[in-house]
Structures are given as structure tokens and as C-alpha cells.
Amino acid sequence: MNRKIFIYANDSEMSRKTEKRLKQKLDGSGFTILPAYNADADLLVCIGGDGTFLEAIHRFDFPDMPIIGINTGHLGFFQEIMPSMLDDFIFNYSQGRYSIQQLSTVQVSVKTENGVSRHVGLNEVIIKGRSTCSIHLNISIGGSFIERFSGDGLLIATPAGSTAYNYSLGGSIVDPRLKILQVTPIAPMNTTAYRSFTSSILLPSDLSLGVVTDAGSKQDGVSIVYDGYMNDYKEIQEIEVSFSDIQVSLMRFENYDFWTKVKSKFL
Ligand code: NAP
Ligand code: MN
């Protein structure tokens, strides 16, 4: 079977070595290695850590193909195999012995007088102030006003991103089979002057979060961060964060189990 594979690697020495070995092995097994990314490749191999994985999916605009990660980074939560497992990987892939884990994404639409910009995150979207001052945001859920948030910002995590920044903020770890969004406050203020939810809240996939910067407070613009990529905005009219239809398809092998992976990476 002549399948077309594109390999994306970061430039660490370990990644370069792994890429070279993988190319030789795939070549020897009759696969075609694409010299440049092509949207109709059969498989994207990503060599690096989670950061490299996120970089690849953004660079190639959320590829509509299975992706396999080889971990040469630090944590490697998305990454399925280690560089020592290349032969097993090629054997299992050739035999069709794998499953696809579908990961959902989160989208943010930012409306300004210049139009609407849209960004998609696999881990999360963050809304925060550009200055060191606290930010005040009026939040609605499904069109109903819920709270005036005060603090550093809000992080809206996908289940896949629940183990990343969300977890450091005290958010919950969510099984990726659940189709939800988790809204986690970043340093919420809770005093007689300001009142905000201090825990995460969970939203079903058909409810969106509306955010309007509070007109009464002085603000120096808003930063929107998605998977570590930042865009600054001034004079935002409205922000909407919702569940996105775009999915990322991760190749997983026989022993993959989300909770076993969580245990091995966190405990
Ligand atoms: P980074 O600052 O190098 O990433 C921080 C750590 O998060 C790395 O160890 C990375 O793994 C890990 N990571 C990324 N996605 C993960 C996931 N879904 N589950 C568990 N761990 C995950 O930046 P980066 O590597 O480009 O990754 C971007 C992500 O970093 C952002 O989406 C955000 O979630 C996270 N982040 C976390 C904090 C925090 O926890 N305080 C602060 C800023 C950003 P690797 O070592 O394999 O790359
Ligand atoms: Mn990283």
C-alpha cells in the first residue's frame, strides 16, 4: 500500500536523528515520504514535544488526516510513541492496528470595527488584559448575562487542553470523550469590591460564552491567546468563545488509555 507520509520535526538533535532513522525505515517499507506538506497526505508524523505538535497543527491549519506524535520533548502528552518504538509503529500502521482519538477544539471570534477575526485552539483560548492592571469582563452564557469577571483573565480549555495551563490554574482534568468546554478563571478577585466565580465552570458543546469588556473600567486592550499564540486587540466590540467543529485526529495504538497516560505524566 503506497501511503504518503509527511514528517514534521523540531530542530533538536534527538528529533533530527529520529527523523533520519524514520525516513530510512519508511522508505525501506515502501511508503512515500513527501518532501513538503500536502493536504492530501495520509499521515502526518510530528517529532518533538507537545509544543512542536501544537506548532504543526497551527502551521498546517488543523490537518484533516491522522497525526502521530513521536516524543523527543519534555512532557509529550499528545505524543504517542518514543523514538525507540519506530519498528513497532511501522508494523502496527501497516497492519491497520491503531485507533483514532478525535480531539475537539475551541474557537474564538473577536469582533472589532474592522470586522471579525477567528482563532482556533486545540488546548485553550485565553482572554486577558494587555496591561498589568486587572481586567473586567462582562460574561454571558447562552445569551444570558452571568457575571462581571475581575482578575487576570479567563481561560477556556478543551478536554485535550485540560491537562495543560488549565491544570496549573486548578482546573479539572477532563476525559477527551466528553464534548465540553471548561471556563477557568485566572486569578479571579473576590472582595467586597469585585465578585467573580473562583472555580471552573463547564459548558455543553452547544452553549457559547459571550464576553464584552466592561465599558466603565479603563482598559488598554485585550490579548487573545490560543495554544500559546497571541493576538492583541484594541476596541473590541464583542468576543464569542464556542465549541468548534474542527477536530484533530490522533493515531493511538493498542495500549493507549487516556487515564493511564494522565497517571504516567502527572503522578
Ligand atoms: P510551553 O510553555 O513550553 O508548555 C508548557 C508545558 O505544557 C510543556 O511541558 C508542554 O509539553 C505542556 N503541554 C502542552 N500541551 C499540553 C497538554 N495538552 N497536556 C499536558 N501538557 C501540555 O509551551 P508549548 O510547549 O508551546 O505549549 C503551549 C501550551 O503551554 C499552551 O497551550 C498552554 O496550555 C501551556 N502553558 C502552560 C502554562 C502553565 O502551566 N503555567 C503557562 C503557559 C502555557 P512539552 O514539554 O512536551 O512541550
Ligand atoms: Mn514546550
Indicate the domain borders of the chain: 4-96, 105-245
Interval 173-189 mean pLDDT? 98
Interval 239-266 mean pLDDT? 97
pLDDT band at 2 (very low <50, low <70, confident <90, very high): confident
What's the pLDDT score for residue 220?
79
Ligand 1 contact via 159 beta carbon (within 6 Å): no
Pick the residue whose CA is nearest to atom 21 on ligand 1: 164
pLDDT in tens, 40-73: 999 999 999 999 999 999 999 999 999 999 999 8
Dist CA 239 CA 209 (whole Å): 8
- Ligand 1 nearest atom to the CA of residue 49, by list position: 47
pLDDT band at 242 (very low <50, low <70, confident <90, very high): very high
Quick check: 218 pLDDT over 80? no
CB atoms within 10 A of CB 84: 9
| CATH among 2.40.50.90, 2.60.200.30, 1.10.150.120, 3.30.70.1140 for 105-245 | 2.60.200.30
Quick check: 131 pLDDT over 90? no
What's the pLDDT score for residue 215?
80
Interval 186-199 mean pLDDT? 93
Taking the CA of 50 as reference, the closest ligand is: 1
- Please provide the DSSP assignment of the chain as one string: ---EEEEEE-SSHHHHHHHHHHHHHHHHTTPEEPSS--TT-SEEEEEE-HHHHHHHHHHTTS-SSEEEEEE-SSS-SS--B-GGGHHHHHHHHHTT--EEEEEEEEEEEEEETTEEEEEEESSEEEEEESSSS-EEEEEEETTEEEEEEEESEEEEE-TGGGGTHHHHTTPPP--TTS-EEEEEEES---SSS-----S-EEEETT--EEEEE-TTS----EEEEETTEEEEESSEEEEEEEEEEEEEEEEE-TT--HHHHHHHHH-
What is the pTM for the complete model shown?
Answer: 0.97
Quick check: 37 pLDDT over 90? yes
Interval 256-267 mean pLDDT? 96
Measured in Å, residue 160 CA sits from the centre of ligand 1 at: 11
Measured in Å, residue 51 CA sits from the centre of ligand 1 at: 7
Crossing angle for the helix pair 13-28 and 86-94, nearest 10 degrees?
Answer: 40
Ligand 1 contact via 76 beta carbon (within 6 Å): yes
Which residue out of 75, 80, 125, 152 has the highest number of ligand 1 atoms within 8 Å of its CB and is therefore the one to mutate? Answer: 75
CB 106, CB 121: distance < 8 Å: yes
Q: What is the CATH T-level fold of the domain 4-96, as seen in this structure? A: Rossmann fold (3.40.50)
Pick the residue whose CA is nearest to atom 32 on ligand 1: 227
Phi-psi region of 138 (alpha: psi -120 to 50; beta: other; left: phi over 0): beta
Pick the residue whose CA is nearest to atom 22 on ligand 1: 164
* Average predicted confidence (pLDDT) for the chain: 96
